[in-house]
Structure 1
Amino acid sequence: MKKTIVLVDDHILIAKALEGIIGNFADFKVIYIAENGKDLIQKFEQNSKIPDIILLDISMPIMDGFETVQWLKKHHPEIKVMALSMQGDDASVIRMIRNGAKGYLLKNTHPKDLETALINLDRDGFFYPEWASKIIMSNLTDKNTPENTVRISDRERELLRYIITELSYKEIADRMKCSPRTVETYRDQLCDKLGVKTRVGLAVFALKNGFAE
């Protein structure tokens, strides 16, 4: 079954073109378009179908992307939100992520890269291209929690090396020769130690502190 997507963009021609592009993807389909955050909320209130993924523009009238993703995080945290914008500055990226976005793409992204991003977002729960990851590393890493101030076990170090790959937790468990539940335990322990809440936070820490394979 195809994953459902809603486009939120006040430029209807762009949204329609994007709908056509996604229509050629094997695993995804656009179910409707909203012109801004308020329009999206109204559609939800009118019992429109709740999508799996929302591709969200930032610069919109009435209710912009920053406000919309914050509302979605509070009322529909199960929806994976990816920003799709012309704005690639540090402030916009960081603000969208802090407000709840799980991915970030620019509108000049190639269709094939968009499909790859959607696959990763659906599978892993997040997706950031290399340029966005660099912004995250520079701005979101807790500089008061360097690697040498916390005690990280050998198995936790091993997990950190896999965290930054595209492997699922089940695949990581296979590599580490343990159960998925054990991997989840290592993950939760690391989150507690490092003061992060998501795989993204762990990945940022791993990259910043040289855990890349």
Structure 2
Amino acid sequence: MKKSIVIVDDHILIAKALEGIIDNFNEFEVIYVCENGKDLIQKFEEGNPIPDIILLDISMPIMDGFETAAWLAKHHPNIKVMALSMQGDDNSVIKMIKNGAKGYLLKNTHPKDLETALTRLDTDGFFYPEWASKIIFSNFNKDQEAEITVKISDREKEFLKYTVTELSYKEIADRMCCSPRTVESYRDQLCDKLDLKTRVGLAVFAIKNGFAN
């Protein structure tokens, strides 16, 4: 079964063009398009299907992408939100991530790269291209750093090294000569130990504490 996608973008021609591109992907399909966050909420209230993924523009009238992402994080945390915008500045990226977006792409992304990003978002739970990752890492506040107050095993340290790469969890498992389930257990254990919630948080911790070398 294909993963369902909703596009939220006030530029209808762009949204429809994007819908046509995605509907040619093997694993994804667009189930409907909304003009802004308020339109999306209304669609939900009317009983329309809840999608697996939402592609969310930022600059929209009535209810923009920042507000919409925050609403989704609160009311539908299982939906994976991918920002898709012309805005690639630091403030926009950081604010969208803080508001719950699990990925960020620019609208000039090649269709093949979009398909890859959607696949990674679906399988890994997030996707940030290298340029966005650099913004996230360089803008993390000091108060978000985790101090090393717990014991981290050698295998967990090895896993931390890979969190800063673009490798999928399956690819990390291949590098570590173990199963993807084992890699997921390293992730879950470290998140519990360090009071973190995402791979981005683990990657930032790894960089700031010297595990990414």
For 2:107, the aligned partner's letter is K
Q: Find the counterpart in structure 1 of residue 125 from structure 2.
A: 125
Q: Could you tell me whether the CA contact under 8 Å between 1:93 and 1:104 is conserved in 2?
A: yes
Of 99-108 and 19-28, deviating more is 19-28
Q: Find the counterpart in structure 2 of residue 34 from structure 1.
A: 34
Aligned-partner SS, 1:152? coil
| 1:173–1:141 Cα change, 3 Å | farther
Provide Cα deviations, 1:20-67, integer angstroms capped at 9, x if missing partner: 111111111101000000000000000001100000000000000000
Aligned-partner SS, 2:4? strand
Shift of 1:152: 2.9
Q: Find the counterpart in structure 1 of residue 196 from structure 2.
A: 196
Aligned-partner SS, 2:101? coil
Q: Find the counterpart in structure 2 of residue 158 from structure 1.
A: 158
For 1:95, the aligned partner's letter is K
Q: TM-score, length-normalised on structure 2?
A: 0.88
CA RMSD in angstroms, aligned pairs only? 2.5
For 1:175, the aligned partner's letter is M
| 1:185–1:69 Cα change, 3 Å | same
Provide Cα deviations, 1:113-145, integer angstroms capped at 9, x if missing partner: 111100000000000000000000001264774
Question: Unmatched 5+ residue regions in structure 1?
Answer: none
Q: TM-score, length-normalised on structure 1?
A: 0.88
| 1:9–1:25 Cα change, 3 Å | same
Aligned-partner SS, 1:204? helix
Q: Could you tell me whether the CA contact under 8 Å between 2:58 and 2:64 is conserved in 1?
A: yes
Aligned-partner SS, 2:51? coil
Q: Could you tell me whether the CA contact under 8 Å between 1:6 and 1:51 is conserved in 2?
A: yes
> Matched residues, percent identical?
73
State yes or no: 1:105 paired with 2:105.
yes
Q: Find the counterpart in structure 2 of residue 115 from structure 1.
A: 115
Question: Unmatched 5+ residue regions in structure 2?
Answer: none
Q: Could you tell me whether the CA contact under 8 Å between 2:170 and 2:180 is conserved in 1?
A: no
Of 169-178 and 91-100, deviating more is 169-178
Shift of 1:198: 1.2
Aligned residues: 212
Of 123-132 and 185-194, deviating more is 185-194
Work out the CA distance in 1 between the residues paired with 2:53 and 2:89: 23
For 2:95, the aligned partner's letter is R
Q: Find the counterpart in structure 1 of residue 176 from structure 2.
A: 175
